[in-house]
């Protein structure tokens, strides 16, 4: 067993520490966030911090790093109040990772991904994504501890390209959608469905839903 106490954590070299602390959060969803500027320039960026906030109202959020440098995604969301969340899948993982580079032009063209438009928001979806979500800004919550922000949007549109991913109870089969996960900033994982369990009861072992 390897144990790091607080002083061992603090004395790690900066990149090692960043890697380890990021990795501890485990598997996270890999998503591309699409926005459009007022001058109609599209923007696309990969995020590993997308999270469920609530089902009613239907809210999702993500963490925006400190806006001490120019962050197009943040500026576009503040000015247009809209963004799209697109699940990264196995087929576009390299292009999706590429969007994290510092481009002076739209990441769509630069990384070989195609913008697609729905009817509820002006922000572009990623055509290659099997699961696309259109959101309007609901709230920006500053996290003073480290100058990040929790950006929360309300879901206005859900687009599921392949209906077989949608299970009868309205869960999604992420293995069929080929959605992927990311650990830390650079390690991508494919998903294999292990089991789905019924609502747990105290006196019975969890029952598997076939």
- Cβ nearer to a copy of itself, comparing 98 with 122: 98
- Cβ nearer to a copy of itself, comparing 38 with 144: 144
We find the least distance from the C-beta atom of residue 44 to a copy of itself, in angstroms, to be 13
- Cβ nearer to a copy of itself, comparing 38 with 83: 83
- Cβ nearer to a copy of itself, comparing 37 with 59: 59
C-alpha 31: how far from chain center: 3
- Cβ nearer to a copy of itself, comparing 6 with 38: 6
Distances 178 to 29, 81, 153 between C-alpha atoms, Å: 12, 29, 24
We find the least distance from the C-beta atom of residue 170 to a copy of itself, in angstroms, to be 4
> Quick one: CA dihedral 22, 28, 31, 36, positive or negative?
negative
We find the least distance from the C-beta atom of residue 38 to a copy of itself, in angstroms, to be 24
Evaluate the omega torsion of the peptide bond into residue 42 and state whether it is cis, within 30 degrees of 0.
no
Contact between residue 49 and residue 149 where contact means Cβ atoms under 8 Å apart: no
Distances 169 to 6, 56, 181 between C-alpha atoms, Å: 45, 17, 23
Contact between residue 121 and residue 135 where contact means Cβ atoms under 8 Å apart: yes
We find the least distance from the C-beta atom of residue 120 to a copy of itself, in angstroms, to be 6
- Cβ nearer to a copy of itself, comparing 115 with 181: 181
We find the least distance from the C-beta atom of residue 34 to a copy of itself, in angstroms, to be 15
Contact between residue 73 and residue 84 where contact means Cβ atoms under 8 Å apart: no
CA distance 210 to 94: 34
We find the least distance from the C-beta atom of residue 42 to a copy of itself, in angstroms, to be 16
- CA R_g for the chain: 19
């Amino acid at each position: 067993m390897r144990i790091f106490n607080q002083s061992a954590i603090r004395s790690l070299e900066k990149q090692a520490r960043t890697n380890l602390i990021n990795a501890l959060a485990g598997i996270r969803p890999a998503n591309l966030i699409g926005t459009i500027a007022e001058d109609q320039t599209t923007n696309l960026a990969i995020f590993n911090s997308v999270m469920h906030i609530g089902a009613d109202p239907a809210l999702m959020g993500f963490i925006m790093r400190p806006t001490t440098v120019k962050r197009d995604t943040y500026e576009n969301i503040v000015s247009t109040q809209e963004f799209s969340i697109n699940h990264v899948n196995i087929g576009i993982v390299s292009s999706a990772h590429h969007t994290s580079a510092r481009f002076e032009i739209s990441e769509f063209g630069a990384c070989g991904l195609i913008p697609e438009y729905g009817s509820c928001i002006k922000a572009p979806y990623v055509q290659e994504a099997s699961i696309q979500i259109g959101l309007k800004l609901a709230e920006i919550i500053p996290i003073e501890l480290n100058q990040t922000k929790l950006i929360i949007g309300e879901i206005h549109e859900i687009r599921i390209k392949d209906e077989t991913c949608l299970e009868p109870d309205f869960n999604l089969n992420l293995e069929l959608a080929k959605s992927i996960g990311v650990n830390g900033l650079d390690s991508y994982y494919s998903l294999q469905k292990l089991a789905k369990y019924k609502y747990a009861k105290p006196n019975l072992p969890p029952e598997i839903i076939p």
